[in-house]
Amino acid sequence: MRGLVLLAALVAAAAGTETFVGHQVLRIIPTSDEELQKVQELQDLEELQLDFWLAPRGLGHPVDVRVPFPSLQPLKAHLEANGVSYSIMIEDVQELLDQEQMEMLRGRRQMPITTNTFNYASYHSLDEIYTFMDLLVAENPNLVSKLEIGRSTENRPLYVLKFSKGGTNRPAVWIDTGIHSREWVTQASGVWFAKQIVLDHENDKDLASVLDKMDIFLEIVTNPDGFAFTQTQNRMWRKTRSKQSGSICVGVDPNRNWDAGFGGSGASGNPCSETYHGPYANSEPEVKAIVDFVKNHGNIKAFVSIHSYSQLLLYPYGYTRTPVPDQKELHEVSAKAVAALSSLYGTNYKYGSIITTIYQASGGTIDWTYNQGIKYSFTFELRDTGRYGFLLPAKQIVPTAQETWLALKVLMLHARDHLN
């Protein structure tokens, strides 16, 4: 019998297809030294053809092992006889593969050919978003252009869409989404904003009046390395993906890496922390690229950095309790923007300075932009307030983007009306 199985395996290998029918993936979490030893010994039992997806590392660390069908019964009996408990993570590996294959084919068939067939009500991969940008530019070459402002740590291009009706170095609005990669509703909203600008730039009188005097810059995937990582490895990844010397931990919080109160209270000096500020200000190429862009442009009048979740509209400062000189005006504009946002679906937002509304945070984006003289510096925290948190259902993307856009228009109009 075993000879036949071996033969079948050889034949399958020769044919180039391997089948995983009936294979299961078991999870064992050793909680005693004996258990750990028994599990480690399994690695030497070659005839079982076990495939360790997570090798034994120590007590409390899960061990995941793919078990070919013929080895299931003997392995389980062995584990049970030795008092090693396990759970079945995947009942049938082949079934899961078939399902995944189906979904991928389905997805591929839906690859957009125009921005009119793009599905705004679903989450997309980095490639799909970059394709969308090129399509948008190709369809609207007189309004939209794409700029590369730098490269990420892993050498991914950092793209900014520029919406302009002409002129030279006009005063401008900057909007970024996706600086924290796990905040998926923000990149998805950025895509929607881009399309909306194209749709409305002539018939919406508010948007048209903004574009008559100002350009709009939109960076949709501000942290592409992190975004790719959330799609392939860890959906909850927040930071960049830069290696940190002297640590096994990876990444810097891009919203603690700016040169405003850098390294002070409200950020962590520990590379393993989610709010690690980095070795020095602007160490992250994703941040440096924006800093260079803003300084070189020299005429940015409004800067909005978009995050999720909590449903807040925030203005500086985060690093100090000292109110900004323009506190009164920023507070009033925020009130108007939030009222516009709520008017659509009744979504409740709070607003105020970062430090009084959310928490102390140093080295933040809009603290730096404000100190550069960009008075209208704001941060949004989009839906929701915790029910789904980062895992906001795709069906909420469009409503979120729609209501946020109303608030953005208030901010842009105010900037336009206060150009000096």
CB of 224 to other proteins, least distance (A): 17
Cβ(39)–Cβ(63) below 8 Å:
yes
State the catalytic residue, choosing from 219, 284, 286, 381: 381
Nearer to other proteins, 140 or 153 (CB): 153
CB of 60 to other proteins, least distance (A): 6
As separate numbers, helices (DSSP H) first and strands (DSSP E) second, the chain gives 13, 12
Contacts for 198 with CB less than 8 Å, ≥ 6 apart: 115, 136, 139, 140, 143, 144, 163
For 208, list phi and psi in degrees, rounded to 5.
Answer: -60, -40
CB of 220 to other proteins, least distance (A): 18
For 406, list phi and psi in degrees, rounded to 5.
Answer: -60, -40
Any catalytic annotation for residue 381? yes
Amino acid occupying residue 322:
T
Nearer to other proteins, 53 or 69 (CB): 53
Nearer to other proteins, 108 or 205 (CB): 108
The conformational region for residue 169 under phi > 0 = left, psi -120 to 50 = alpha, else beta, is left
| Distance from the Cα of residue 374 to its chain's centroid | 26
H-type alpha helices, 259-349: 285-297, 327-345
For 379, list phi and psi in degrees, rounded to 5.
Answer: -125, 135
CB of 7 to other proteins, least distance (A): 33
Cβ(258)–Cβ(363) below 8 Å:
yes
Nearer to other proteins, 101 or 232 (CB): 232
CB of 274 to other proteins, least distance (A): 4
Reported as type and span, the H/E element at residue 353 is strand 350-353
Nearer to other proteins, 10 or 102 (CB): 102
CB of 256 to other proteins, least distance (A): 10
Structure tokens that stand for 311 in this block: 């449903």
Cβ(276)–Cβ(269) below 8 Å:
yes
CA triple 118-123-128, angle to 5 deg: 55
In the complex, the residues that contact other proteins under the rule CB under 8 A are: 57, 60-61, 87-89, 91, 122-123, 230, 233-238, 248, 253, 268, 273-275, 310, 358-359, 386-394, 396
Residues labelled as active-site residues: 381
